Structure 1
Amino acid sequence: MDSREAERDAVLRALAPVVDGIAATFGPVCEVVLHDYRQPERSVVAVAGSVTGRTVGGAMSEIGMRVLASGDDARDELNYLTRTGTGKLVKSSTMVLRDSTGAVFGALCVNVDVTEVDRVRGLLAALAGTAGGPEQAPVTTFGDDIDSVVDALLDDHLRRQDQTWAGLDRTRRLALFRGLDARGVFAVRRAVEQVAGRLGISRASAYHYLSQARATAPGGTRTHDTSEGAHP
């Protein structure tokens, strides 16, 4: 093991008790998750609390994929709202972990279930005559299975296109692959094969679309490659 990997391991070990401390401070509405992005399919190395149902050895969420796709340009995302698939309203913060060279290798995530707080807020607003529309927080897929996260992202892209893969022209097919790439899907090992299977196309075709999508990205840029999942 080189010195940089040893340093990263030491940081994760040092943060493990912090995970428990933060969760204990905020009580049962709080969940704290420590991620090691060197292993995206099982990135959860410590967890305390149960808001999203994560367990040690579980996969990163689509939020983690987005951070992973940003590579060393990733920034902390603080106090954002999402909804789980079961309808919980969750306030979250994702703080990236860097080694001494500035390279991103993980994240510390805090999730607070504010569902009941939001209901009380709505009740008070209704009583005061100032009620507005419900909070439009995006639904985020959380789960220990990376395949379910990839599937959810693919389904979301197809749903927004309001088409099946067969109904998309070449431009929209490239846009779909470009969108998935921007959200970090192809940083996950075997994701290209999984997407190909879901779309009913060959592995070679999927790699071709991904290559073309990256080559035609605005400004000629491409997403950050972080794992063997981005290569044949």
Structure 2
Amino acid sequence: MNVYDDLDFFKRLIKGIAEEFGPNCEVAIHDLKAGYEHSIIAIENGHVTGRKVGDVASRIAMETIHSNLQHKDHYSYSTRTNDGRILKSTTICIPDENGKAKALLCINYDITQLMVSNKIIEDFVSIKEVERSDESDVTIPTDVNQLLKDLIEESYQLIGKPVAVMTKEDKMKAIKYLESKGALLIKRSGDKISKFYDISKYSLYSYLNNNED
């Protein structure tokens, strides 16, 4: 069966694909018996590669023509245009009644701008690592009470043992951590911190000054 017998169907097929994916998507049909130099018999969005009906095939198409492969499809491989734009390409063999490839359906999608946009997005959302004394994530609180609660929890995790068995040195370390994070700047934080660590406010400020009880 000659590939031209199905040409009307192929034209409707590639037009449907091109319409679905837009002007950056070139879709072509290659007649493998027409030879490498003039294999394109139908094409949509030829501006992507600058080709038209009667023009040359891609390297993959040429290899298929040369090797006379019965069936070897190629999916999502990278190609380039003469002016350096990057394409995502797929080549699908269309068999004849004997199972040999009589034609190729080739899709070339120009992803150059998408790659540029992707790089811009990656640069924008990248986060620099900040050296911290603990390994917990920084949580954005909904109010100042939540902030103090989170800081106290961080100080507790820093010590890593129940308050009931913490030594004076443990509690002093926790209080120093809270001070370094600015927790004592929060109104009435001293009362809440003292209550959590089961110490008096006098002991709290004594710890901050490295004095004995």
Contact 2:29–2:104 (CA under 8 A) maintained in structure 1: yes
> After TM superposition, which residue ranges in structure 1, 4 or more long, deviate above 4 angstroms?
none
- Indicate which of 4, 25, 28 corresponds to 1:33: 28
Structure 2 residue 88 is matched with structure 1 residue 91:
yes
Read off the aligned partner of 1:25 and give its amino acid letter.
E
Q: Distance in 2 between matches of 1:14 and 1:96?
A: 15
Rg bigger for which structure? 2
Whether 2:8 is the aligned partner of 1:18: answer: no
Cα displacement (A) at 1:128: 3.1
8 Å Cα contact 1:68-1:74 kept in structure 2:
no
Tell me how far apart the structure 2 counterparts of residues 114 and 43 of structure 1 sit (CA, whole Å).
25
Superposed displacement of residue 70, structure 1:
2.9
Once the two structures are superposed, residues 55-102 of structure 1 have per-residue CA deviations (whole angstroms, 9 ceiling, x without a partner) of 011121222111222312441111111221211111111111110110
Q: CA deviation at 1:9?
A: 2.4
Q: CA deviation at 1:32?
A: 0.7
Tell me the TM-score normalised to structure 2 length: 0.55
Match for 2:38 among 35, 42, 49?
Answer: 42
- Whichever residue aligns with residue 11 of structure 2, its letter is A
**What is the aligned-residue RMSD (CA, Å)?**
1.6
Q: TM-score, normalised by structure 1?
A: 0.50
How far apart, CA to CA, are the structure 2 residues paired with 1:127 and 1:119? 12
Q: Is the 8 A contact 2:71 2:95 kept in 1?
A: no
On the 8 A contact 2:71/2:99 being kept in 1, the answer is: no
Q: How many residues were matched structurally? A: 125
- Kindly indicate whether the alpha-carbon contact (under 8 Å) linking 1:47 and 1:56 is maintained by their aligned counterparts in 2: yes
Gaps of 5+ in 1: 131-232
- What residue number does 1:66 align with? 63
Structure 1 residue aligned with 2:156: none
Task: Report which of the two has the higher share of helix.
Answer: 1
What's the CA shift for 1:12? 3.1
SS of corresponding position for 2:9? helix
Q: Indicate the structure whose relative CO is greater, using CA pairs within 8 Å and at least 6 residues apart.
A: 1
Aligned residues with identical type, % of pairs: 33
Aligned-pair CA distance for 1:39: 1.0
Give the CA deviation at 1:13.
Answer: 3.1
Classify the secondary structure of the residue corresponding to 1:124. helix
Does the aligned pair in 1 maintain the 2:70–2:99 contact within 8 Å? no
